[in-house]
């Protein structure tokens, strides 16, 4: 409760800082005279009823302010989307901090060996966002359906620019949008790109990006990441230390398999684009692997009449990618991975695994994990209008709900909603054997 009061308080002060909302001082005079009249009244008729009345007014005022905030911030909505959006918020009660908890469940994450975390702060992320918006506007592929949207483009750009590697490797290029993002982050750094279909093939049909300083293992030259002779590739690029290389995976392969292959080659800095939540996605992900009973927010109950089932059912109505208990649990109440499956290669392979194997996998991951950092969504859903991922299953957004002025000022408001719809917990890992 205290946490909630504090978070509401800091939220209000943020809003006032940016001048998005009424100046509190303008209304203070009214509150004082109301308080005086109330005191006079109390002295006449005793305490109980006036106290109850006062509490009632406070609740009414809270609901009014809450409602007004959402409606003001959503002024560009059509009335029907505004209604459904408002109900999406209102449904979960008066707490507009949908990211604050997930009922009893919380948000799972992977434990690193020594609790080390990333160097960058939320301030760095905010500053980065301001810089990235005008860069993203110049992207050659405006409609990147099936590829990365704004959130992950920003995450990849931010991480690779921060790390300044000597070589950037990507697995899964599609039309080349992520290659372009890597290039914006580090204009002079060589790239190695692996993809079964060469991005230049897409040029025939529309926009695509082919980089001039990139070695493509694509088309007839395609080699899977696990089969590349990395020692020789690094040597060709004059890179002696694999620790100076950043690997970006967007190839929808089992992430445990990719981790083992990367470790074997001595790579330490890995970014995975699609870090699917338990019960979703076409490959086994770190989110899924680390979803264990001993992690807060981890482990699930398939009990149909339980709290989790009720909560999931409610949330499923409002967020397209939320999963209800029927989607989460397979036969025999198996919930880990996707219905007990360890999926791989765009779900072309979906081997069933036991809970013991799943648990062993998480122990292995933890044993090599120095840092686990999930990119937060760039902004809260009241700002981006995204309707897909459940904000309660992700970390707090970089631009929190309510910071409409800031969202507009840095130019995020001009993008189409669709660019904010592809968030799947992109993750940065630092690993070592």
Ligand X SMILES: C[S@@+](CC[C@H](N)C(=O)[O-])C[C@H]1O[C@@H](n2cnc3c(N)ncnc32)[C@H](O)[C@@H]1O
Instruction: Provide the 3-class DSSP secondary structure of residue 350.
Output: strand
Nearest to 96 by CA among 131, 70, 134, 76: 70
Q: Which is nearer to ligand X, 199 or 340 (CB)?
A: 199
> Of the two residues 196 and 207, which places its CB atom closer to ligand X in the complex?
196
363 contacts 421 by C-beta, under 8 angstroms? no
Provide CB contacts within 8 A for 67, sequence distance 6+: 86
Does residue 167 belong to the site contacting ligand X (CB under 6 A)?
A: no
Q: Which is nearer to ligand X, 89 or 249 (CB)?
A: 249
Cα(177)–Cα(141) distance, rounded to whole angstroms? 7
Please measure the distance between the N-terminal and C-terminal CA atoms of the chain and give it in whole angstroms.
Answer: 43
Among 50, 106, 196, 411, binds ligand X (CB under 6 A): 196
**DSSP β-ladder status, 191-195 and 167-171:** parallel
> Of 146, 148, 173, 147, which Cα lies nearest the Cα of 158?
148
Measured from the CB atom, the residue of 159 and 329 that comes closer to ligand X is 159
Interacting stretch for ligand X, rule CB under 6 A, among 47-55, 80-88, 168-176, 360-368?
Answer: 168-176
Report residue 271: phi and psi, to 5°. Answer: -120, 130
Site for ligand X in 130-149 (CB under 6 A): 144, 146-148
Site string for ligand X, 205-244 (x = CB under 6 A): -------------------xx-------------------
Nearer to ligand X, 141 or 234 (CB): 141
195 touches ligand X (CB under 6 A): yes
Contacting ligand X (CB under 6 A), which of 169, 194, 208, 394? 194
* One residue of 251, 255, 277, 291 binding ligand X per CB under 6 A: 251
> Per CB under 6 A, does 255 bind ligand X?
no
Question: Quick one: which H or E segment has residue 12?
Answer: helix 2-17
Assign 3-state DSSP to the chain and report helix, strand, coil percentages, each to 5.
50, 10, 40
Minimum distance between the CB of residue 427 and ligand X, rounded to whole angstroms? Answer: 15
Residues near ligand X (CB under 6 A) are 144, 146-148, 171-175, 177-178, 194-197, 224-225, 250-253
């Amino acid at each position: 409760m205290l946490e909630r009061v504090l978070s509401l308080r800091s939220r209000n002060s943020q809003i006032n800082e940016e001048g998005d909302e009424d100046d509190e001082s303008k209304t203070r005079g009214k509150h004082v005279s109301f308080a005086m009249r109330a005191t006079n009244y109390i002295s006449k008729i005793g305490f109980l009823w006036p106290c109850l009345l006062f509490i009632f007014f406070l609740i009414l005022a809270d609901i009014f302010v809450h409602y007004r905030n959402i409606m003001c911030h959503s002024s560009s909505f059509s009335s029907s989307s505004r209604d459904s959006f408002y109900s999406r918020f209102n449904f979960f009660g008066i707490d507009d901090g949908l990211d604050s908890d997930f009922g009893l469940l919380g948000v799972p994450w992977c434990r690193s060996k020594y609790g080390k975390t990333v160097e960058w702060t939320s301030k760095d992320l905010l500053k980065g966002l301001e810089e990235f918006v005008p860069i993203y506007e110049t992207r050659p592929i405006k409609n990147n359906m099936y590829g990365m949207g704004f959130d992950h483009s920003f995450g990849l750009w931010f991480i690779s620019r921060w790390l300044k590697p000597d070589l950037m490797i990507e697995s899964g290029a599609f039309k080349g949008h992520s290659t372009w993002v890597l290039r914006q982050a580090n204009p002079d750094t060589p790239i190695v790109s692996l993809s079964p279909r060469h991005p230049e093939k897409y040029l025939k049909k529309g926009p695509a990006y082919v980089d001039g300083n990139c070695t493509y293992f694509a088309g007839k030259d395609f080699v899977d990441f696990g089969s590349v002779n990395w020692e020789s590739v690094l040597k060709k690029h004059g890179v002696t230390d694999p620790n100076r290389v950043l690997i970006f995976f967007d190839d929808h392969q089992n992430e445990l398999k990719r981790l083992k292959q990367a470790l074997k080659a001595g790579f330490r800095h890995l970014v995975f684009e699609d870090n699917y939540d338990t019960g979703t996605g076409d490959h086994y992900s770190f989110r899924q692997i680390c979803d264990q009973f001993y992690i807060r927010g981890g482990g699930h109950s398939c009990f149909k009449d339980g709290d989790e089932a009720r909560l999931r059912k409610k949330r499923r109505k409002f967020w397209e990618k939320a999963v209800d208990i029927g989607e989460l649990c397979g036969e025999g109440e198996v919930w880990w991975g996707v219905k007990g499956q360890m999926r791989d290669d765009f779900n072309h392979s979906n081997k069933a695994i036991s809970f013991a194997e799943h648990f062993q996998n998480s122990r292995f991951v933890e044993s090599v994990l120095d840092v686990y950092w999930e990119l937060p969504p760039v902004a809260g859903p009241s700002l981006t209008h995204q309707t897909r991922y459940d904000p309660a299953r992700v970390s707090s957004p970089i631009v929190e709900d309510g910071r409409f002025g800031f969202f507009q000022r840095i130019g995020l408001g001009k993008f189409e909603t669709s660019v904010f719809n592809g968030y799947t917990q992109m993750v940065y890992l630092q690993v070592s054997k």
